[in-house]
Amino acid sequence: MQSQLLRLTVLLTFILPNLQNLSAKELENPRAITVIGTGYVGLVLGSCLAEIGHQVTCCDVDSRKISSLERGEIPIYEEGLEDLVHNNTIKNRLFFTTSLKNAVLESDIIFITVGTPETLSGEANLDYVFSAAQLIGENLNRTKTVFVKSTVPMGTIIKIKEVIQAHNSANVPFSIGYAPEFLREGTSVSDFMHPDRVVIGVENTETSQLFTEIVQPILDDGAKILTTSIASAEMIKYASNSFLAVKISFINEIADFCEKIGADVEEVALGMGLDKRIGQSFLKPGPGYGGSCFPKDTLAFLKSADKNSIHLSIIDAAVQSNNTRCEKILTRMEKTLGTFQGKKIAVLGLAFKENTDDVRESPSLKIIDYLVQKKAYVKSYDPIATQNALKFYPELNIARTLYEAFEDCDAIIVATPWNLFTQIDWQIVKQICRGSFVFDTRNILCPMEVKNAGFSYMGIGKKPLME
Ligand code: UDX
Ligand code: UDX
């Protein structure tokens, strides 16, 4: 009897908790949380916090965004997000509002996830985080804790605290922490629910204890948490993003070298990545990194370092390398094709990466820009991101279907690594296009399959297969 009881205790204490999924747990102490800024980061944060049991109000100044969310329509494309929003809305754990004031008044915990876009000088535009801070200061009706999740340059959290205090006319006590986000678009829900690590920068232990309690189900599921100072947390975020950007620029330049000497960059990356100190990820060469983070965060980091009389020369070099990446690979293609002028070119993919509708700093749009300047005729297709691309480029020539993009084209460029493009029937394409040149800037196609259908195949960091 005794041993059975012991076994049951072990099961209940050590094994069962890990078998439950995150959302099934009932939180001991669910919190009322306000999220200010319901974009790619804020909406995922709010939905996931609701999923693990909290009562979350997501607010935003964009009334169209909020009203579409209230209708259950998700304004961004993100795997699994629609179900999360729907399930938690019907369970009355997730709400949406444009009344930021009421949302702040009614909760003790506020997350700031408004945008920190790049300014013309390359610095982060902090107007939105400061206006959120002012709103919080003006509505400190009782003690609150503010967690900033927007990516902000070193020293900003203290400035946010000063803005809150400057508008805290009743001098109500409040705490602030910095909880940098590491989610990747396209996998943001799973990245949030199963992160490698959670980082929290604080000024006191009460704030880190509160944050730990808020994300406890994620920690129970195996994520590590690092509690550190606010300055170190700010540095961890920018240093992590910048290191990943350096890694990408590094493999892109190695790919260029591979092309010169007939090495295969994919085998080189595999050989490198088998060293645990290097790792396999972020060693895929391509047209350069894009998105709303790496380009702006590396620039903001460089600016922030310059202000402290530090020159981050390696990151600077990676940024310079990335800035000329599209032109460099297209020049190589142009040499092979002869000229772009007057050519009809199909560009496959508009999003900055697969599985997202985000086109911010998309290499695809840089490729299209370059081709148009060279007087080529471009027709593009993207399974998801077209509407967003048209907001940036209304004059884009969009193919309604994938195969329409190939009609009478002289050359094809794979610009975004959508899985859909690996399913293309190149025999059919050969019948409807005019030319016979495929430039796979993401190395996602099977070169021999493309060549056997009658095309010349050019990848990145690989020997071309000329027809
Ligand atoms: C952005 C940045 O890209 C990221 O680096 C930062 O860490 C968080 O903010 P993202 O979610 O992609 O992430 O931003 P975006 O999609 O632009 O969403 C920001 C939201 O904040 C928008 O919906 C905008 O309407 C809203 N917003 C902006 C406010 O609610 N209040 C403001 O004052 C300004
Ligand atoms: C990035 C960071 O990964 C994430 O941790 C942070 O929170 C936000 O910024 P994201 O920009 O959403 O996430 O996407 P990511 O998968 O990092 O890709 C960024 C860019 O690098 C994309 O243009 C992608 O195509 C490119 N990339 C990525 C490569 O060119 N090669 C690679 O091996 C990986």
What's the Rg (C-alpha) of the chain? 25
Instruction: Quote the pTM value.
Output: 0.92
Residue 35 Cα to chain centre, angstroms: 18
Residues 222 and 242 in one domain: no
- Boundaries of domain holding 130: 29-228
Amino acid, single-letter form, for residue 308: N
Q: Is residue 20 part of a domain?
A: no
Q: What is the CATH number of the domain that holds 302?
A: 1.10.1040.10
Residues 105 and 204 in one domain: yes
Q: Is residue 71 part of a domain?
A: yes
Residues 101 and 220 in one domain: yes
CA of 73 to the centre of ligand 2 (A): 26
| Residue with CA nearest ligand 1 atom 14 | 115
Residues 79 and 203 in one domain: yes
N residues, the chain: 467
The CA distance from 239 to 199, in Å, is: 13
Catalytic residue among 48, 59, 293, 433: 293
Residues 49 and 129 in one domain: yes
CA of 98 to the centre of ligand 1 (A): 14
Q: Which two tokens stand for residue 128?
A: 């939105």
Q: Is residue 272 part of a domain?
A: yes
Bridge partners, residue 199, by sequence:
226
Q: What is the pLDDT of residue 118?
A: 84
Residue 137 Cα to chain centre, angstroms: 30
CA of 4 to the centre of ligand 2 (A): 50
| Residue with CA nearest ligand 1 atom 34 | 128
| Residue with CA nearest ligand 2 atom 10 | 184
Residues 209 and 341 in one domain: no
Q: Could you tell me if residue 381 is left (phi over 0), alpha (psi between -120 and 50 degrees) or otherwise beta?
A: beta
Average pLDDT over residues 414-442: 97
Where among 228, 246, 279 does a domain terminate? 228
Q: What is the pLDDT of residue 387?
A: 96
Q: Is residue 86 part of a domain?
A: yes
* Distance, first Cα to last Cα, the chain: 76
Neighbours of 203 (CB within 10 A): 16
Q: Is residue 165 part of a domain?
A: yes
Angle between helices 81-90 and 40-51 (to 10 degrees): 50
Q: Is residue 365 part of a domain?
A: yes
Residues 45 and 102 in one domain: yes
Q: Is residue 288 part of a domain?
A: yes
Q: Which residues line ligand 1 (CB under 6 A)?
A: 36-42, 60-62, 65, 113-116, 128, 131-132, 150-151, 181, 292-293
Ligand nearest to the CA of 251: 2
Ligand nearest to the CA of 133: 1
Q: What is the CATH number of the domain that holds 171?
A: 3.40.50.720
Q: What is the pLDDT of residue 19?
A: 35
Q: Which residues contact 353 (CB under 8 A, 6 or more apart)?
A: 185, 186, 290, 291, 416, 417
Residues 338 and 311 in one domain: no
The string of pLDDT tens digits covering residues 32-62 is: 999 999 999 999 999 999 999 999 999 999 9
| Residue with CA nearest ligand 2 atom 31 | 284
Residues 300 and 260 in one domain: yes
CA of 186 to the centre of ligand 2 (A): 10
Q: What is the pLDDT of residue 399?
A: 97
CA of 91 to the centre of ligand 1 (A): 26
User: Each residue of 331-369: b (16+ CB within 10 Å) or e?
Assistant: ebbbeebeebeebbbbbbbbbbbbbbbbbbbbbbbbbbe
Query: Is the confidence at residue 274, as pLDDT, over 60?
Result: yes
**Pocket of ligand 2 contains residue 358 by CB under 6 Å:** no
- Give me the chain's average pLDDT, please: 94
CA of 457 to the centre of ligand 2 (A): 26
What is the position in ligand 1's atom list of the atom closest to the CA of 131?
Answer: 33
Query: Is the confidence at residue 433, as pLDDT, over 50?
Result: yes
Q: Which two tokens stand for residue 171?
A: 């001098």
Residues 95 and 218 in one domain: yes
The string of pLDDT tens digits covering residues 142-196 is: 999 999 999 999 999 999 999 999 999 999 999 999 999 999 999 999 999 999 9
Ligand nearest to the CA of 39: 1
Residues 109 and 249 in one domain: no
Where among 300, 323, 346 does a domain terminate? 323
Where among 323, 346, 379 does a domain terminate? 323
Amino acid, single-letter form, for residue 261: I
Is 433 one of the annotated active-site residues of the chain? no
Neighbours of 392 (CB within 10 A): 12
Contact between 183 and 150 (Cβ < 8 Å): no
Residues 433 and 342 in one domain: yes
Ligand nearest to the CA of 444: 2
Q: What φ, ψ does residue 55 adopt, rounded to 5°?
A: -100, 110
Q: Is residue 332 part of a domain?
A: yes
The CA distance from 255 to 88, in Å, is: 45
Q: What is the pLDDT of residue 25?
A: 56
What is the position in ligand 2's atom list of the atom closest to the CA of 252?
Answer: 30
Q: What is the pLDDT of residue 23?
A: 60
**Pocket of ligand 2 contains residue 183 by CB under 6 Å:** yes
| Residue with CA nearest ligand 1 atom 18 | 39
Strand order in the sheet with 456-458: 377-381, 344-348, 411-414, 437-440, 456-458
Residue 122 confidence class, pLDDT cut points 50, 70, 90: confident
The CA distance from 127 to 116, in Å, is: 8
- If one residue of 248, 256, 265, 460 were mutated to test the ligand 2 pocket, choosing by the most ligand atoms within 8 A of its CB, it would be 248
Query: How many domains in the chain?
Result: 3
CA of 36 to the centre of ligand 1 (A): 9
Element containing residue 439 per DSSP (H, E): strand 437-440
| Residue with CA nearest ligand 1 atom 33 | 128
